[in-house]
């Protein structure tokens, strides 16, 4: 008997730039772009572009210890963007005087390239040089080039790395730690560096001194230098899988001293302190706890650990940030955020809360300057409340720096939080944004309007309230309801919430999402034929499972840069790095559960699949576009209503500039409106 899970007749679509595959993509794109061609699509696209290009958006800067606020900015005049900086005094003004350091559009014109911004590493403490990483079309692979902040130009004969998935760290002005593609055998099976070297200025990269080498099946290795005066240190990290690592202090002699913490714990060293955040129980401490110890005594064998945070059934640790003398903790209680200031003291650290946000708004630390002072940038935003950016100082006042303008009318709208009950009895929170009903249910009356439900449910990533002008103007302001599901697999309730849907327990995340969909209908918020769903990346896998496993619950599905073929995902690009999350399909025991939900292998004829739209990017070098291509082809093979759009650029974000982002967003919103109304 033919095994339906073994059929992969569309594998030719994995050939990224093969002539037949390219022709197939062009044909699908033409179909999809012609479907919404009309005034509604153009109006939606133009309105979204207006939001994305608005000069009234507030910049969200970073600070690097040299007294400047740095920002990367895109608008209609600068589609690829400007890297710029200004002083704190200028930033407070309505229209700051920005000093443009690099104009990517001008650079592209001069070099005939399609560079997009990736990230930057500034030399400390000199702050006069930096390493700029540029991506072709938004891919994860980057070219690294040294840049002079005084002359605002790339350094002739400076440090330069060819295109690769590299990791670099300044040691001093003349030395770098470099993890990159050094040739055969230097990359892991996940496509990341496994060899780190020390590169001296003026010498060939090939002559760089060997520092450390990981194993071929590790995810990656990394070496970093901490230049904090009086605490200069070097650290080596071997990342065994997505959640397990070995961390070492590298002595000046080159000796590696293992930092004795659990492999699945996060550990961070700041000046004299070591922080350990647990993913699983250790000693007498529960998973999700944050512990502190003095670093040097700990390294010497002492285990005087202080509990800085301990989770409970409703509260988890979201993030933590050091200032010069204090630690800021962001926690969530039923996905509602709070911030506390902790100060090292004996016998216990002192703790003080910062003022809380409005009921469903989310507080987040944007930036601190741990080398220099106790200030912090903090943001507050909600589904219906634009972002406010403030500057605070521990022990001092907090002053509002910028307020984001409103991009849609929220009159008559409200935010409510509900809990659905999943198949195993777990209560799953979700937010509903839309017409204000006073929080009352309608008793399941068949009066619900169109609703858009989204979720993620993976990698311990939490979905928190956020202001989205595109969804607001393109969906909410046109009468739709927007819903965010906080399903298991995410980080809303810490490591336990994540582990509950890990590997063979993945189905719990799918059951949670289906439970939210049913609860929306039971409350009369919408009906199955008017309920659309949307997710990207791991959330795209979620969408594929909803399509093939729960088709009767939904009226339309949108999957962006999705992971869909769980039989071959480890063979495609960075797929092997996610084995700790999903399992290994080459392991018979793992494939036994993966095959039960892998969307590509579970397409069947004669099922009531709702219409589906796939969005991806040719230049996505993280999740291969072959996932979406093959799924589209298989659905069409069985006669299902499936649409497809593959952007040439964009990487894993699917768009490299605001024009591309506006086109994709308009395609999605118009698809949902056509199918759900």
Nearest to 474 by CA among 670, 274, 245, 227: 670
Strand partners, 206: none
Q: Which residues contact 609 (CB under 8 A, 6 or more apart)?
A: 547, 548, 551, 635, 640, 641
Helix, strand, coil proportions of the chain in percent (round to 5)? 25, 35, 40
CA distances from 277 to 322, 335, 380, 609, 635 (A): 14, 19, 25, 43, 44
- Dihedrals phi, psi of 97, to nearest 5 degrees: -90, 100
User: Which residue is associated with the tokens 């608008």?
Assistant: 75
Total residue length of the chain: 677
Q: Is 624 a catalytic residue?
A: no
Q: What SS3 state is found at 675?
A: helix
- Residue 146 region by backbone torsions, left for phi larger than 0, else alpha for psi between -120 and 50, else beta: beta
Burial class (CB in 10 A: 0-12, 13-18, 19+), 549: middle
Exactly one of 169, 537, 577, 643 is catalytic; name it.
537
Distance CA 217, CA 580 (A): 12
Distance of CA 238 to the CA centre of its chain: 22
Distance CA 239, CA 148 (A): 32
- Residue 316 region by backbone torsions, left for phi larger than 0, else alpha for psi between -120 and 50, else beta: beta
Planar angle of CA 575, 576, 580, nearest 5 degrees: 110
DSSP 516-575: HHHHHHHTTS--GGGEEEEEETHHHHHHHHHHHH-GGG-SEEEEES----TTTGGGSGGG
CA distances from 608 to 29, 605, 635 (A): 25, 9, 12
Three state DSSP letters for 256-314 = EEECCCCCCCEEEEECCEEEEECCCCECCECCCCEEEEEHHHHHCCCCCCEEEECCCCC
Q: Is 652 a catalytic residue?
A: yes
The H-or-E segment that residue 78 falls in is: strand 78-86
The H-or-E segment that residue 615 falls in is: strand 612-617
Contact 499, 580 (CB under 8 A): no
Distance CA 85, CA 618 (A): 33
- For residue 186, cis peptide bond before it (omega within 30 degrees of 0): no
Distance CA 74, CA 667 (A): 21
Distance CA 274, CA 334 (A): 28
Distance of CA 11 to the CA centre of its chain: 28
Contact 51, 473 (CB under 8 A): yes
- Compute the half-sphere exposure of residue 239: CA atoms within 13 Å on the CB side of its CA: 26
Q: Which residues contact 246 (CB under 8 A, 6 or more apart)?
A: 237, 238, 240, 258, 263
Exactly one of 78, 225, 627, 652 is catalytic; name it.
652
Distance CA 404, CA 407 (A): 9
Residues with catalytic roles: 537, 652
């Amino acid at each position: 008997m033919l095994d339906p899970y073994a059929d992969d007749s569309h594998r030719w679509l994995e050939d990224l730039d093969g002539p037949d595959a390219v022709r197939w993509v062009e044909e699908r794109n033409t179909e999809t772009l012609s479907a919404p061609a009309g005034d509604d699509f153009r109006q939606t696209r133009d309105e979204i572009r207006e939001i994305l290009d608005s000069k009234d958006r507030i910049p969200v800067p970073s600070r690097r210890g040299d007294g400047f606020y740095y920002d990367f900015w895109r608008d209609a005049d600068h589609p690829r963007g400007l890297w710029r900086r200004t002083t704190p005094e200028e930033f407070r003004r309505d229209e700051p005087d920005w000093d443009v350091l690099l104009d990517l559009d001008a650079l592209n014109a001069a070099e005939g390239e399609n560079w997009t911004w990736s990230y930057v590493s500034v030399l400390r403490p000199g702050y006069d040089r930096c390493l700029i990483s540029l991506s072709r079309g938004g891919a994860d692979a980057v070219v690294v080039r040294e840049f002079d902040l005084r002359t605002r130009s790339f350094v002739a004969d400076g440090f330069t790395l060819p295109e690769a998935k590299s990791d670099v760290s300044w040691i001093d002005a003349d030395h770098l730690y470099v993890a990159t593609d050094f040739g055969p055998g230097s990359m892991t099976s996940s496509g990341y560096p496994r060899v780190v070297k020390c590169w001296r200025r003026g010498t060939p990269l090939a002559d760089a001194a060997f520092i450390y080498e990981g194993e071929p099946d590790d995810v990656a290795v990394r070496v970093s230098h901490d230049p904090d005066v009086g605490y200069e240190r070097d650290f080596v990290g071997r990342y065994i899988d997505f959640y397990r690592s070995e961390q070492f202090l590298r002595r000046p002699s080159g000796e590696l001293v293992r930092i004795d913490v659990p492999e699945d714990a996060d550990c961070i060293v700041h000046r004299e302190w070591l922080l350990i955040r647990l993913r699983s129980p250790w000693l007498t401490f529960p998973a999700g706890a944050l512990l502190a110890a003095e670093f040097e005594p700990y390294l010497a064998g002492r285990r005087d650990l202080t509990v800085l945070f301990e989770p409970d059934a409703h509260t988890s640790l979201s993030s933590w940030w050091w200032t010069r003398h204090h630690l800021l903790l962001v926690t969530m209680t039923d996905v509602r955020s709070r911030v506390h200031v902790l100060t090292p003291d004996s016998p216990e650290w002192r703790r003080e809360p910062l003022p809380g946000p409005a009921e469903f708004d989310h507080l987040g630390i944007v930036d601190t300057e741990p080398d220099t002072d106790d200030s912090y940038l903090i943001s507050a935003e909600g589904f219906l409340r634009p972002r406010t950016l403030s500057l605070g100082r521990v022990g001092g006042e907090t002053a509002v720096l910028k307020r984001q303008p409103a991009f849609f009318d929220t009159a008559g709208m409200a935010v409510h939080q509900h809990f659905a009950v999943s198949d195993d009895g777990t209560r799953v929170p979700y937010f509903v944004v839309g017409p204000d009903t006073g929080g009352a249910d309608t008793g399941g009356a068949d009066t619900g309007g169109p609703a858009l439900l989204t979720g993620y449910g993976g990698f311990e990533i939490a979905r928190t309230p956020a202001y989205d002008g595109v969804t607001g103007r393109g969906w909410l302001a046109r009468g739709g309801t927007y819903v965010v599901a906080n399903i298991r697999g995410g980080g809303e309730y810490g490591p336990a919430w994540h582990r509950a849907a890990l590997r063979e327990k993945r189905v719990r995340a799918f059951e949670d999402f289906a439970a939210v969909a049913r609860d929306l209908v039971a409350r009369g918020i919408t009906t199955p034929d008017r309920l659309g769903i949307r997710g990207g990346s791991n959330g795209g896998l979620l969408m594929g499972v909803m399509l093939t496993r729960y088709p009767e619950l939904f009226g339309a599905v949108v999957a962006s840069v999705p992971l869909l073929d769980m039989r071959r995902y480890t063979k495609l690009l960075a797929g092997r790095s996610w084995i700790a999350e999903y399992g290994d399909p080459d392991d018979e025991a793992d494939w036994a559960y993966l095959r039960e939900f892998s969307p590509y292998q579970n397409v069947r004829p004669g099922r009531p699949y709702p219409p589906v739209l796939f969005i991806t990017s040719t230049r996505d070098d993280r999740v291969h576009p072959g996932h979406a291509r093959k799924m589209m082809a298989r659905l069409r093979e069985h006669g299902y209503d499936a649409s497809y759009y593959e952007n040439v650029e964009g990487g894993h974000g699917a768009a490299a500039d605001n024009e591309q982002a506006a086109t994709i967003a308009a395609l999605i919103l118009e698809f949902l409106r056509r199918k759900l109304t």
